[in-house]
Structure 1
């Protein structure tokens, strides 16, 4: 373990362009694995290459190059230049020369019938051989994984991303800001009631085939294995499509790809995919409206054998069959203790928009209070107890994140807070086994239950005063940049009107 540029480096070449850090599969192996049904053309000879990367706020950007007489291998060796001053949070104009280096394990074929296009997720480096860009969000998640590996651990992350599929969002040109959905009254012969959309029957579910199409594309083109695909609680077209848990960075990659696929399928059908935490709200009463969209994050920690790749050598350290309450270990309780201890500052990273705090109000299944329990959705953390005697499924579910978060930063912060709890043996207190929303303020205070920040400004202040647990993998310059961007966001929100929030977050 060494210190480089203020960060702990758990692998000697973590700041160099070390291709051993990536998946060692050859391009030919990836072509066979992921493009066996795409015809005779080798993906490595694609005419165009799309490079995807994520800016600091979390937007999934795309750069394109034309291969011409080059082989894709040349781009994988040399990278592609990037103007970092044009990317939010990356670089100032006087240090703008950056490099996108493709992660070949993410190489896929784009589903475009008329063009031969390969797509890949890239890591961001500073130009002139100066190593990784500390502000690259993907670098943060990779660093957390290296930190875990240094301690003989690995984590599995399972995000559940909710969103809305609208027919239109109107918020400019002098019109009243509004949402149009075929599932609403006046638009459908079988409208869905507010908060009445969960597992809607097919005659009311306008998005059944839409979800099937997204799931098929995720499986066929991106090797993302879909599990559940439901109509969610809210009316107006709220959906949730879940996929299998994965390692931290791959889980974040999957969220970015998933959001991109949903948006493109919506565009194809002349609809609008919206990942705002709370698009359906009343400006004068936050308790009105319909359910918002969350991104609940399940996390489990596993021992990682360096001697064998066999999964039988891995053990879920959250599982304890002797625990009567939830078959949950003491290490898991300490992990929860860390999350509760840092809940206020975590909010700035997992619920990072002005609109996020319109979602986090009582009565809409969104978390408001820092507490834990088993199977209790009024707590910010729950330990699912669907199965008994299942070490493989034992995990915590952190319910504060929403889909406006940058998944690389959000997942990394959650794991870092939990590891801090394990390190310090932070006691999470007793589990709360009743509806916290229905308690009085005095009851909550007597149980030590604290509320989460009530606004983005409050969560910014909390993060500014509680940064220590992040410092091993979040560089000072990244944290300073992130906080500066969030302060600017609060200023831009102004009166927080619906039209202003739609304008700021319709494409978040």
Structure 2
């Protein structure tokens, strides 16, 4: 038993922890949980806890159902919303097969595998997400439209506003669980908020995002409201993205920084951006995984819908933020297409794979987009070589289906299941007759 595991067992005893929840996600990024008694945890560290994987979306087929959850001691945290004593704690867990080998169906393992490939080249992948979400009044019926908790806008300060109290409570809870928050503010939509998590390695960030979503929903329930990470919940207001700042480090050196280069961006950084851009369309089904995701991207209100990059250009899909003089570590890029409902393990895995492909193949970075891309005509964008991102989940599925990069990154099992699930989602969506259609066509000749 290692020191971290000993620390966990000792803390559980000292803090009177009666329930330990092991967290993991299915392929679509839905959080799963199994509770174990503290007395069982030492055995779980050594041998895992068995469960029926065929009951979880995408993990296993019925004839290969036996699987194990193996807790990761480094992720131990006490759940503050479960009360002081007796307490409840959680650990993220890796999914294993009965022979204790990693399950290819585990999204956490998909990201770990991508990070290992980068580590073999001496690189560590860091991410910093800006997570947007909406706060709504509790609904009495699913037939009624959601009602935002306020009518405030971007950076608005609302005295005694619900969002102020909410963000303070949520951030306090996040930081009590070891998740550092950099910024928080009201976003542009009514009831829309943003909380930015501090830089961390991509695996820690993905774990933090899963915890973040749970904390946000728990705090909302405590305050008699509900939180939604739906990419586009309101037709006439901005969608919720998860803009992610990324960088690669070689030890303590920022591989994206080159003193004196334009925007202080190194060749490695340029190749990484080129990789993200070249593979942007084929990874979209993963970074934007729902039918509703494409209504955010193509519904206006600052969501990127075209494949381009720019310096400090917020209409671009990839942005190179302003370099801070004397802070070489801060050189980074911001990928703005990602939305708040993506599975962070799979999304970060394909983003890293695309960027690394650009580095390995030395992709040439296309010209920078200096104009407001949203206000250009289609002809102007074509003349500048700026292609559109997929316009629908169906379009994204077809592009992903032919992607060697996505197939290799996700692995055969996750790749096949993900595609089957998304095709079923699109088929179910396509069969609907919407209120828009009834309003437009019911009474026409």
Does structure 1 conserve the Cα–Cα contact (< 8 Å) formed by 2:9 and 2:42? no
Q: Which residue of 1 aligns with 2:93?
A: 122
Q: Report the counterpart of residue 66 of structure 1 in structure 2.
A: 37
Within 5 Å, give how 1:242-253 maps onto structure 2.
Answer: 242-253=196-207
Counterpart check, 1:146 vs 2:113 = no
1:26 counterpart = 2:4: yes
* Helix, strand or coil at the partner of 1:432: coil
Per-residue deviation, 1:30: 5.4
Q: 1:171 to 1:413 in 2, by over 3 A?
A: farther
Change beyond 3 A, Cα 1:154–1:430: same
Q: Is residue 2:154 matched to residue 1:182?
A: no
> Are the aligned partners of 1:168 and 1:181 in contact in 2 as well (CA < 8 Å)?
no
Partner Cα distance (1:25, 1:414) in 2: 33
1:166 corresponding residue in structure 2: 136
In the aligned structure 1, how far is the partner of 2:356 from the partner of 2:30?
27
Preserved contact between residue 362 and residue 368 of structure 1 (Cα < 8 Å):
no
1:300, 1:396 within 8 Å by CA — same for their partners in 2?
A: yes
Compared with structure 1, are the counterparts of its residues 170 and 458 closer, same or farther at alpha carbon in structure 2 (3 Å cutoff)? Answer: farther
Structure 1 residue 233 corresponds to structure 2 residue 188 = yes
User: What is the CA-CA distance between 1:451 and the residue it aligns to?
Assistant: 0.3
Query: 2:286 corresponds to which residue?
Result: 349
In 2, are the aligned partners of 1:135 and 1:477 still within 8 Å (CA)?
Answer: yes
Superposed, 1:316-335 pairs within 5 Å as 316-324=254-262, 326-335=263-272
* More helix as a share of residues: 2
Q: Offset at 1:71?
A: 5.1
Quote the Cα distance in structure 1 between the aligned partners of 2:420 and 2:58.
9
Paired residue secondary structure (1:410): helix
Q: Alignment partner for residue 87 of structure 1, among 49, 53, 56?
A: 56
What SS does structure 1 have at the residue aligned with 2:90?
strand
Partner of 1:438: 375
Q: Pairwise mapping of residues 230-379 of structure 1 onto structure 2 (< 5 A)?
A: 230-235=185-190, 237-281=191-235, 289-304=236-251, 314-324=252-262, 326-361=263-298, 363-379=300-316
Corresponding residue number in structure 2 for 1:188? none
SS in 2 for 1:123: strand
SS of residue matched to 1:290: coil
1:505 alignment counterpart: none
Following superposition, the deviation at residue 168 of structure 1 comes to 2.6
- Report how far residue 278 of structure 1 moved: 0.2
CA distance in 2, matches of 1:171, 1:331: 52
Residue segments in structure 2 that go unaligned for 5+ positions in a row: 437-445
Question: Compared with structure 1, are the counterparts of its residues 48 and 392 closer, same or farther at alpha carbon in structure 2 (3 Å cutoff)?
Answer: same
- Tell me the TM-score normalized by structure 2: 0.93
Query: Which residue of structure 2 lines up, in the alignment, with residue 50 of structure 1?
Result: 21
Q: What does residue 424 of structure 1 align with?
A: 361
**Deviation digits for residues 165-192 of structure 1 (CA, Å, limit 9, x no counterpart):** 11134663xx3x4012331xxxxxxx43
Contact conserved, 1:158 with 1:297, CA < 8 A, in 2? yes
Shift of 1:204: 7.5
| TM-superposition CA deviations, 1:183-214 (whole Å, max 9, x none) | 1xxxxxxx43xxxx111112384210110111
Tell me the secondary structure at the aligned position of residue 207 of structure 1: helix
Question: 3-state SS of the aligned residue for 2:28?
Answer: coil
Structure 1 residue ranges (4+ consecutive) displaced by more than 6 angstroms after TM superposition: none
Q: CA deviation at 1:472?
A: 4.7
Aligned residue in 2 for 1:11: none
Q: Distance in 1 between matches of 2:371 and 2:139?
A: 38
Q: Among residues 183, 206, 214, which one is paired with 2:162 in the alignment?
A: 206
Q: Could you say what secondary structure the match of 2:200 adopts?
A: coil
Contact 2:264 2:323 in 1 (8 A): no
Q: Is the 8 A contact 1:321 1:389 kept in 2?
A: no
Match in the other structure for 1:157: 127
Q: Distance in 2 between matches of 1:257 and 1:299?
A: 20
Equivalent-residue separation in structure 2 for 1:262 and 1:440 (angstroms): 39
Residues 1:491 and 2:427 are matched in the alignment? yes
**Cα distance, 1:394 vs structure 2:** 0.7
| SS of equivalent residue, structure 1 residue 26 | helix
Given that residues 258 and 265 in structure 2 are in contact (C-alpha distance below 8 angstroms), is that contact kept between their aligned partners in structure 1?
yes
**3-state DSSP of counterpart to 1:212:** helix
2:443 is matched with: none
Q: Is the 8 A contact 2:45 2:71 kept in 1?
A: yes
Q: CA deviation at 1:82?
A: 1.5
Normalised by the length of structure 1, the TM-score is 0.82
Tell me if structure 1 keeps the 8 A contact 2:283–2:406.
no
In structure 1, stretches of 5+ residues that fail to align are 1-18, 184-190, 282-288, 305-313, 500-508
